[in-house]
């Protein structure tokens, strides 16, 4: 049986579904560590980490150099050994400058004393979760939500753990190569997650275009009755959490709720492998496998790079650019973020970097909606993108909420099928930000009013 969801799209030509042929047969190449790594203290959703080293300090690989800034935060570790040469704002993929720790590599890869194997079986659940937290673990699929928070919230409410091996976004093949080359880490991490959370079943949801990984995965899970492999139809956005949960379990995540409210917890392939490595080797998050592709790249590859490696080094490892790109993307073409520089570093959630030229980035001047309804048919959340766009442009935020703007997952399916090539997702992101700001302002005003009324009541006494 092949599992899927209603809606979605099929990007790419029949000869190359998902535009993955450039890299899906290329093994992971381990890059040499660069001369310098740039490590932003904010590589996750939540409070930025707090630097605990200063310029001039000597650090070891795997050493914590920035501690978590709160429970919903994640620490940062040195990805090379060497000397801290700067603690200052540096260019971040979000377009701003973020406080970063710059380390000059001494070439020794000297391991910190904290990097050693841990006995998973003898540890308490609290100890296990704390070890994951102190490893700086986040969602490596791009969302970068701190993993320990997700695990903590899943205990007692979640009965199903799902490894998101769909990798439905066009061009990206880093997870596919990990499943082929390091399946033991993924399955081992899934077993650990099931043990920590107390889940009754663990599912590996994987699209049919990765069928060459099925045999090895099935062999690795056959000794554990909790684990199952679910083949998924190749369709975008099959890997979106809500769609993946629906495809694998038939459950619906309620509007405004989290996967845990449907009894599920979803983890990325590389996050799952990182959990396994944390316990078996002691290594925190120091590296990421990145797909570098696109028509402007001379020799597209899957590269294992140290976190903090400047993107330009990855481009150089792919033979450089064969022509000037007209668009740079951190992530995939559907949900990735446009970039203006190659000096940004590899982050924990960097699964791809794409460089497009020519026809891969066609644009339409002053696009007009022709009311064809294709965006509505493609929406996997069953929303009304056409009307969301109209109300968003009018600034009618109340109507935006009524037509489901806050349920949009920003997958880009609507924009992909739009014959006018209207930048729908850009408008939705803008409108959602305005709605959030309005709600925050209303909350602050209500709190200020309550505080003023309480003070007035106290003054009357």
- The structural domains of the chain, ordered by start, are 17-281 (3.40.50.11540), 287-361 (3.10.20.600), 374-439 (no CATH)
Residue 335 DSSP one-character state: T
And the tokens for 173?
């093949």
pLDDT of residue 103: 98
Length of the chain as a residue count: 461
Residue 411 Cα distances to 97, 235, 283, 431, angstroms: 26, 12, 33, 15
Residue 27 Cα distances to 256, 290, 300, 404, angstroms: 40, 12, 11, 42
pLDDT of residue 4: 87
Mind listing the pLDDT tens digit of every residue in the chain (461 residues)?
787 888 899 998 878 889 999 999 999 999 999 999 999 999 999 999 999 999 999 999 999 999 999 999 999 999 999 999 999 999 999 999 999 999 999 999 999 999 999 999 999 999 999 999 999 999 998 789 999 999 999 999 999 999 999 999 999 999 999 999 999 999 999 999 999 999 999 999 999 999 999 999 999 999 999 999 999 999 999 999 999 999 999 999 998 899 999 999 999 999 999 999 999 999 999 999 999 999 999 999 999 999 999 999 999 999 999 999 999 999 999 999 999 999 999 999 999 999 999 876 666 677 889 999 999 999 999 999 999 999 999 999 999 999 999 999 999 999 999 999 999 999 999 999 999 999 999 999 999 999 999 888 888 87
pLDDT of residue 459: 85
pLDDT of residue 360: 65
And the tokens for 271?
């996050």
pTM (two decimals):
0.92
What does 169-235 look like in DSSP terms, one character per residue? Answer: STT--HHHHHHHH-HHHHHHHHHHHHHHHT-SEEEEEEEGGGGGGHHHHHHHHTT-TTEEEEEE-S-
Helix (H, G, I), strand (E, B) or coil at 301: strand
177: which residues sit within 8 A by CB, 6+ positions away?
A: 24, 26, 27, 28, 289, 302
Starting at the edge strand found earlier in the chain, the sheet holding 337-339 runs: 29-30, 301-306, 287-293, 352-356, 327-330, 337-339
Residue 51 Cα distances to 30, 101, 343, angstroms: 28, 8, 22
Report yes or no: 124 and 286 within 8 Å, Cβ to Cβ: no
pLDDT of residue 425: 94
Q: In angstroms, rounded to a whole number, what is the distance separating the alpha carbons of residues 196 and 188?
A: 13
């Amino acid at each position: 049986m092949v599992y899927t969801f209603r809606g979605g799209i099929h990007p790419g030509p029949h000869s190359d579904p998902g535009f993955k042929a450039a890299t899906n047969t290329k093994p992971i190449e381990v890059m040499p560590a660069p001369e310098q790594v740039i490590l932003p203290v904010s590589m996750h959703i939540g409070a930025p980490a707090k630097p605990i080293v200063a310029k001039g300090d000597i650090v070891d690989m795997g050493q914590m150099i920035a501690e978590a800034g709160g429970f919903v935060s994640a620490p940062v570790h040195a990805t090379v050994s060497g000397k801290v040469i700067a603690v200052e704002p540096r260019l971040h993929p979000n377009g701003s400058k973020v406080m970063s720790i710059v380390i000059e590599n001494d070439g020794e890869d000297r391991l910190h004393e904290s990097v050693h194997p841990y006995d998973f079986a003898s540890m308490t659940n609290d100890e296990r979760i704390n070890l994951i937290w102190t490893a700086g673990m986040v969602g490596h699929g791009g969302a970068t939500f701190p993993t320990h928070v997700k695990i903590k919230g899943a205990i007692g409410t979640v009965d199903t753990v799902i490894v998101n091996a769909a990798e439905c976004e066009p061009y990206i093949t880093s997870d596919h190569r990990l499943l082929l080359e390091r399946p033991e880490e993924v399955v081992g991490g899934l077993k650990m997650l099931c043990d920590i959370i107390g889940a009754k079943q663990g599912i590996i949801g994987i699209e049919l275009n990765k069928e060459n990984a099925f045999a090895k995965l099935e062999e690795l899970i056959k000794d554990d009755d909790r684990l199952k492999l679910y083949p998924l139809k190749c369709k975008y956005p099959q890997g979106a959490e809500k769609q993946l949960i629906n495809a694998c379990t038939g459950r619906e995540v309620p509007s405004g709720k989290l996967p845990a409210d449907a009894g599920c917890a979803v983890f990325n392939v590389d996050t799952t492998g990182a959990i396994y490595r944390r316990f078996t080797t002691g290594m925190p998050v120091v590296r990421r496998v990145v797909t570098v592709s696109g028509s402007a790249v001379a020799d597209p590859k899957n590269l294992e790079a140290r976190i903090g490696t400047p993107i330009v080094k990855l481009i150089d490892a792919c033979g450089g650019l064969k022509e000037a790109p007209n668009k740079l993307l951190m992530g995939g073409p559907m949900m990735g973020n446009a970039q203006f520089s190659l000096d940004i570093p590899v982050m924990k959630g960097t699964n791809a970097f794409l460089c497009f030229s020519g026809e891969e980035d066609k644009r339409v001047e002053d696009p007009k909606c022709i009311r064809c309804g294709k965006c509505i048919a493609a929406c996997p959340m069953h929303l009304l993108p056409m009307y969301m766009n109209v109300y968003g442009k009018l600034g009618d935020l109340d109507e935006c909420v009524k037509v489901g703007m806050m349920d949009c997952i920003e997958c880009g399916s609507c924009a992909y099928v739009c014959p006018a090539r209207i930048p729908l997702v850009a408008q939705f992101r803008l409108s959602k930000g305005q709605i959030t700001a309005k709600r925050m302002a209303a909350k602050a005003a209500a709190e200020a009013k309550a505080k003023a009324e309480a003070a007035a009541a106290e003054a009357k006494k």
